[in-house]
Amino acid sequence: MKTIYPDNYNEEDKAMYDDMMMKGEALIGKKVNKMDAFLIDLASRMTINQMKGISSELSIDEMEGVRMTHKNAMSQLVHETPNNLWEGKEHPLNKTISDYYKDNIEKPDILDVQHF
């Protein structure tokens, strides 16, 4: 399978991405649930973007709010997602393995790596 990297990745970024993916994939089934494997790709891309100074454009207060919401949610035994969260959008967990494969093989028409 050929990985398609964002246009702004240099050779060092590509090597770093491949290294993080390899290390992450070694944990699938051991420390990472197979259903959460997509998070390895997401975390790798976010790490490289952060190192390159590409920001999510959230203020410090907004980021702290996200952290606190996540911390509170993770401390609960049961977490329920609001029903209207994905209204009008495709829920990312409804994708099949084939869809994820296609997303990673075919480069999208518009690749916006500036904002997350």
Mean pLDDT confidence for 25-42? 81
The DSSP annotation for 61-101 comes to HHHHHHHHHHHHHHTSSS----GGGGTTS--GGG--HHHHH
Predicted confidence at residue 41, as pLDDT, reads 85
Q: What is the domain count for the chain?
A: 1
Q: Is residue 26 part of a domain?
A: yes
Residues spanned by the domain of 19: 11-58+93-105
**Tens digit of pLDDT for each residue in 35-48?**
777 888 888 888 89
User: Residue 79 falls within a domain, yes or no?
Assistant: no
46 lies in some domain: yes
Q: Would you say the C-alpha torsion 14, 19, 23, 26 has a positive or negative sign?
A: positive
For residue 17, being part of any structural domain is answered with: yes
pLDDT of 21 strictly over 70: yes
64 assigned to some structural domain: no
24 within domain boundaries: yes
The pTM is what?
A: 0.48
